[in-house]
Amino acid sequence: EAQVTQNPRYLITVTGKKLTVTCSQNMNHEYMSWYRQDPGLGLRQIYYSMNVEVTDKGDVPEGYKVSRKEKRNFPLILESPSPNQTSLYFCASSLSGVDNSPLHFGNGTRLTVT
């Protein structure tokens, strides 16, 4: 089954403790992206990747890092999480980032930073 898989689904951590949220897709998609969803703000793009070793900032990249060493994986790294990063995070992928291909989303990771 074609899917985007995020792990973990739920994560509670403390301020300053580094964490990684994993994202993997099995559709051989070139483009991958991370979003955060907050009440009243919709989905905002954090980072995106057009292909392996190619990443770029979205609208809200501060406090986040990403890497794209393999085509299928696009982990989101919070090196020193803060309470304002408490949010619902979604990973998405699409066939290509240059021709407006539809996005396929994972089921989300709910992160709480205390």
Task: Please list every residue from 93 through 112 that binds another protein, using CB under 8 A.
Answer: 94, 96-108
Binding to another protein (CB under 8 A) within 28-67 occurs at 31, 33, 35, 40-45, 48, 50, 56, 58-59
Dihedral of the alpha carbons of 100, 105, 108, 109, in degrees to the nearest 10: -60
CA distance readout (Å), 35 to 1, 41, 43:
23, 12, 6
Does position 77 interact with another protein (CB under 8 A)? The reply is: no
Alpha-carbon span 32 to 62, nearest angstrom: 18
Could you say whether residue 90 binds another protein (CB under 8 A)? yes
Q: Which residues bind another protein (CB under 8 A)?
A: 4, 31, 33, 35, 40-45, 48, 50, 56, 58-59, 90, 92, 94, 96-108
